[in-house]
Structures are given as structure tokens and as C-alpha cells.
Structure 1
Amino acid sequence: MSREKLAEAADVLEAAASDADDDLAERLRGQADQLAKLADRSSGPDHGRLARHMHTLSDLADDADGDLADEIQRAYDLVEGYRSTVSGV
């Protein structure tokens, strides 16, 4: 199963970090790094791990405004799209 959506979500968050203030940018880069690592692993993440990332992305979107919040939502949607392909729930 391809984890391209996770890699794309990481790229979206990394780009969004360049438009965020210092604290939010750091948090976005942290999520981007974690998602990139998940995309590169030999086995994909489980539902619980993905749910935690989605919860964090929701919190980040709540802390952002305008276009930045939209980009974080885009990353959320990508993770959600990947999660829908994971078997087990």
C-alpha cells in the first residue's frame, strides 16, 4: 500500500511552516518530520497512530488562520485519505 499521501502531507506541512510564526512553525515541522518518517518506513502506521496525528493536525489548524489553516486542513485530509486505506477498523 502506497504511503504517498503521508509524504505529500509532510511536504504540505513543511511548506506551511515557512508561513507560520516561530512556535507554530516548529510544531508544523515536527509533524512534517514524523509523517515523512512514517511514509518511508517499511511497514505503514496503524489507525491509532494516524488518529493521533490527525488530532494534532486539528489542534494546529485551530491555532492558525486563513490560508495557513487551509493548508493544515489539506494535510489532515491527506492523512485521513491514507487512513481510509488501512485495514483493521
Structure 2
Amino acid sequence: MTRQELATASDLLASAAEDSSGDDADRLADLSAQLDTLAERDTDPDHGRLARIESALGDVQSDASDDVAATIDDALDAIHDFRETIEGV
């Protein structure tokens, strides 16, 4: 069962990683992989896991170029859209 919003966020972060360098590129690639895994799991991820990913993205975004920051913002929007579909907090 694919969670399309998380898959979209993963694709956006993979693109942002390609447009970045160094530690930021590595972090974005790792976060992209995490979201890809979460998109394909049998169960929904919990809010806490997604909040940690969002926090990590905020850290990377603050130092990113304008183009990469905009792509991260789009990914965050997709994650927020998904979070609205799950119960909890």
C-alpha cells in the first residue's frame, strides 16, 4: 500500500539531495530513503516519526540554497498533507 504523499515527499527530497552537496546531500538522501520506506510499509507511521523527519528537514532547510529550500518546503507540504489523514495528535 503506497502512501502517495510520502512517496512524493521522498521523490522531492531525492531531487533536493542531487542539488545539494556534502552533509546536506547525505541527510536529504537519508530522509528520502526513510520516507520511501514509510510509504511502502503495511502500517501508517506515527506522528512522532514524521515530526522527527520534519524537524530534520527544517535543520537542513535553514542552510540550503533557495531552490533546495523550496523543494524541501514542497516535501514538507506533502508530509503535512499525509499527517492530516492519520489519527492522533
TM-score, normalised to structure 1, is: 0.93
Deviating runs (4+, > 6 A) in structure 1? none
SS of equivalent to 1:87: coil
In structure 2, the partner of 1:3 is 3
Q: Which runs of 5+ in 1 are unaligned?
A: none
Percent identical residues: 45
Aligned-residue Cα RMSD (Å) equals 1.3
AA at the equivalent of 1:53:
I
CA–CA separation in structure 1 for the residues paired with 2:30 and 2:2: 22
2:2·2:40 contact (CA, 8 Å) conserved in 1?
no
TM-score, normalised to structure 2, is: 0.93
Q: Which runs of 5+ in 2 are unaligned?
A: none
In structure 2, the partner of 1:48 is 48
CA–CA separation in structure 2 for the residues paired with 1:28 and 1:6: 14
In structure 2, the partner of 1:30 is 30
